[in-house]
Amino acid sequence: MGLFDQVMGAIADPRRQASAGQMTQILGDAKQAAQQNNADSSSMQQAMSVIGGFVRSSLQEKRQTRGDEAAQSLIDEGAANGAAVIPHLFNSAQLTEMIAAVTQKTNLNANQVQGILPMVIPLVMRFLSAGNTKQGAPSPGNNPILTAFLDGDGDGDVDMGDVMGMAGKFM
Protein backbone atom coordinates (compact mmCIF):
# COMPACT_ATOMS: atom_id res chain seq x y z
CA MET A 1 0.00 0.00 0.00
CA GLY A 2 1.25 3.46 -0.86
CA LEU A 3 1.77 6.37 1.47
CA PHE A 4 -1.51 8.06 0.57
CA ASP A 5 -3.39 4.81 1.26
CA GLN A 6 -1.67 4.53 4.63
CA VAL A 7 -2.71 8.09 5.50
CA MET A 8 -6.30 7.37 4.56
CA GLY A 9 -6.16 4.14 6.58
CA ALA A 10 -4.80 6.01 9.61
CA ILE A 11 -7.60 8.59 9.33
CA ALA A 12 -10.14 5.76 9.32
CA ASP A 13 -8.46 3.91 12.23
CA PRO A 14 -9.75 5.24 15.57
CA ARG A 15 -6.56 3.99 17.27
CA ARG A 16 -4.39 6.37 15.19
CA GLN A 17 -3.85 10.08 15.74
CA ALA A 18 -4.67 10.97 12.12
CA SER A 19 -7.81 12.92 11.34
CA ALA A 20 -9.16 14.76 8.33
CA GLY A 21 -8.98 17.96 10.37
CA GLN A 22 -5.33 17.38 11.16
CA MET A 23 -4.48 16.81 7.50
CA THR A 24 -6.44 19.92 6.51
CA GLN A 25 -4.49 21.92 9.11
CA ILE A 26 -1.16 20.64 7.80
CA LEU A 27 -2.15 21.54 4.23
CA GLY A 28 -3.29 24.98 5.38
CA ASP A 29 0.00 25.51 7.20
CA ALA A 30 1.92 24.50 4.06
CA LYS A 31 -0.08 27.02 2.03
CA GLN A 32 0.60 29.69 4.63
CA ALA A 33 4.36 28.90 4.55
CA ALA A 34 4.27 29.30 0.78
CA GLN A 35 2.46 32.63 0.99
CA GLN A 36 4.80 33.99 3.67
CA ASN A 37 7.77 33.21 1.45
CA ASN A 38 6.23 34.31 -1.88
CA ALA A 39 6.20 30.77 -3.26
CA ASP A 40 3.55 29.56 -5.67
CA SER A 41 1.79 26.25 -5.03
CA SER A 42 3.70 24.42 -7.77
CA SER A 43 7.06 25.50 -6.36
CA MET A 44 5.94 24.60 -2.87
CA GLN A 45 4.85 21.13 -3.98
CA GLN A 46 8.21 20.60 -5.70
CA ALA A 47 10.02 21.92 -2.61
CA MET A 48 8.04 19.51 -0.41
CA SER A 49 9.11 16.65 -2.68
CA VAL A 50 12.79 17.52 -2.40
CA ILE A 51 12.65 18.27 1.33
CA GLY A 52 10.66 15.09 1.93
CA GLY A 53 13.38 13.12 0.14
CA PHE A 54 16.05 14.57 2.42
CA VAL A 55 13.94 13.90 5.52
CA ARG A 56 13.36 10.33 4.34
CA SER A 57 17.09 9.77 3.82
CA SER A 58 17.89 11.15 7.25
CA LEU A 59 15.21 9.07 8.97
CA GLN A 60 16.29 5.94 7.07
CA GLU A 61 19.88 6.51 8.21
CA LYS A 62 18.78 7.05 11.81
CA ARG A 63 16.60 3.94 11.70
CA GLN A 64 19.40 1.86 10.20
CA THR A 65 22.05 3.00 12.68
CA ARG A 66 19.95 3.47 15.84
CA GLY A 67 16.73 1.53 15.26
CA ASP A 68 13.05 2.23 14.63
CA GLU A 69 12.67 3.99 17.97
CA ALA A 70 15.26 6.64 17.02
CA ALA A 71 13.38 7.51 13.82
CA GLN A 72 10.06 7.59 15.65
CA SER A 73 11.60 9.75 18.39
CA LEU A 74 12.70 12.32 15.80
CA ILE A 75 9.20 12.37 14.33
CA ASP A 76 7.68 12.94 17.75
CA GLU A 77 10.22 15.67 18.54
CA GLY A 78 9.60 17.45 15.25
CA ALA A 79 5.83 17.25 15.65
CA ALA A 80 6.03 18.67 19.17
CA ASN A 81 8.96 21.08 18.94
CA GLY A 82 8.87 22.20 15.32
CA ALA A 83 12.07 23.46 13.79
CA ALA A 84 14.13 22.38 16.83
CA VAL A 85 14.38 18.95 15.18
CA ILE A 86 16.31 20.25 12.14
CA PRO A 87 19.81 19.98 13.69
CA HIS A 88 18.98 16.43 14.80
CA LEU A 89 18.08 15.49 11.23
CA PHE A 90 20.73 17.35 9.23
CA ASN A 91 24.24 18.64 9.58
CA SER A 92 25.21 21.95 7.95
CA ALA A 93 26.53 20.27 4.78
CA GLN A 94 23.24 18.39 4.35
CA LEU A 95 21.25 21.60 4.87
CA THR A 96 23.35 23.37 2.25
CA GLU A 97 22.85 20.45 -0.14
CA MET A 98 19.08 20.45 0.49
CA ILE A 99 18.78 24.21 -0.08
CA ALA A 100 20.74 23.89 -3.34
CA ALA A 101 18.57 20.97 -4.48
CA VAL A 102 15.34 22.86 -3.76
CA THR A 103 16.53 26.01 -5.55
CA GLN A 104 17.58 23.90 -8.54
CA LYS A 105 14.20 22.11 -8.78
CA THR A 106 12.00 25.15 -8.14
CA ASN A 107 11.86 28.83 -8.97
CA LEU A 108 12.62 29.63 -5.32
CA ASN A 109 15.82 31.39 -4.32
CA ALA A 110 18.02 30.31 -1.41
CA ASN A 111 16.52 32.90 0.95
CA GLN A 112 12.99 31.66 0.24
CA VAL A 113 14.09 28.06 0.81
CA GLN A 114 15.79 29.00 4.08
CA GLY A 115 12.53 30.70 5.06
CA ILE A 116 10.34 27.68 4.36
CA LEU A 117 12.57 24.98 5.88
CA PRO A 118 11.74 25.79 9.53
CA MET A 119 8.06 25.68 8.57
CA VAL A 120 8.01 22.71 6.20
CA ILE A 121 10.16 20.20 8.09
CA PRO A 122 7.88 20.36 11.17
CA LEU A 123 4.88 19.92 8.84
CA VAL A 124 6.47 16.75 7.47
CA MET A 125 7.00 15.55 11.04
CA ARG A 126 3.41 16.33 12.02
CA PHE A 127 2.25 14.51 8.90
CA LEU A 128 4.32 11.44 9.78
CA SER A 129 3.21 11.50 13.42
CA ALA A 130 -0.41 11.13 12.30
CA GLY A 131 0.22 7.39 12.13
CA ASN A 132 1.10 7.20 15.82
CA THR A 133 -1.20 5.30 18.13
CA LYS A 134 -3.47 7.50 20.24
CA GLN A 135 -2.59 7.60 23.91
CA GLY A 136 -4.52 4.92 25.75
CA ALA A 137 -5.51 3.05 22.57
CA PRO A 138 -4.43 -0.55 22.10
CA SER A 139 -1.23 -0.50 20.08
CA PRO A 140 -1.81 -1.85 16.57
CA GLY A 141 1.94 -1.96 15.84
CA ASN A 142 4.34 0.40 14.14
CA ASN A 143 3.37 3.74 12.62
CA PRO A 144 2.11 2.74 9.14
CA ILE A 145 2.61 6.25 7.73
CA LEU A 146 6.26 6.28 8.81
CA THR A 147 6.76 2.76 7.46
CA ALA A 148 5.28 3.71 4.08
CA PHE A 149 7.24 6.99 4.03
CA LEU A 150 10.48 5.14 4.65
CA ASP A 151 9.36 2.80 1.87
CA GLY A 152 9.69 -0.49 3.61
CA ASP A 153 9.34 -2.43 0.34
CA GLY A 154 12.23 -0.52 -1.28
CA ASP A 155 10.42 0.38 -4.49
CA GLY A 156 11.26 4.10 -4.22
CA ASP A 157 7.60 5.01 -4.66
CA VAL A 158 7.31 7.81 -2.09
CA ASP A 159 7.05 11.53 -2.77
CA MET A 160 5.90 14.06 -0.14
CA GLY A 161 4.92 16.64 -2.78
CA ASP A 162 2.67 14.19 -4.57
CA VAL A 163 1.07 13.03 -1.32
CA MET A 164 0.42 16.62 -0.22
CA GLY A 165 -1.01 17.40 -3.65
CA MET A 166 -3.33 14.37 -3.54
CA ALA A 167 -4.34 15.14 0.02
CA GLY A 168 -5.10 18.73 -0.95
CA LYS A 169 -7.41 17.55 -3.70
CA PHE A 170 -9.07 15.03 -1.41
CA MET A 171 -9.53 17.41 1.52
CA distances from 72 to 8, 99, 114, 166 (A): 20, 24, 25, 24
User: Reduced to 3 states, what is the DSSP secondary structure of residue 133?
Assistant: strand
Q: What is the mean pLDDT of residues 13-31?
A: 90
Express each pLDDT in 41-87 by its tens digit: 889 989 998 999 999 999 999 999 998 889 999 999 999 998 999 99
C-alpha span between 58 and 24 (Å, rounded): 26
Residues 6+ apart with CB under 8 A from 168: 27
C-alpha span between 120 and 52 (Å, rounded): 9
Q: Residue 158 pLDDT > 60, yes or no?
A: no
Q: How many residues does the chain have?
A: 171
**16, 142 in Cβ contact below 8 A?**
no
Cα-flanking dihedrals φ and ψ of residue 16, to 5°? -100, 155
Express each pLDDT in 136-150 by its tens digit: 777 666 888 888 888
Express each pLDDT in 109-146 by its tens digit: 999 999 999 999 999 999 999 999 888 777 666 888 88
**Mean pLDDT computed over every residue of the chain:** 86
Give the per-residue pLDDT at 161.
Answer: 58
Express each pLDDT in 23-35 by its tens digit: 889 889 988 998 9
Give the per-residue pLDDT at 139.
Answer: 67
Give the per-residue pLDDT at 171.
Answer: 47
Q: What is the mean pLDDT of residues 90-98?
A: 97
Q: Residue 16 pLDDT > 50, yes or no?
A: yes
DSSP state of 134: P
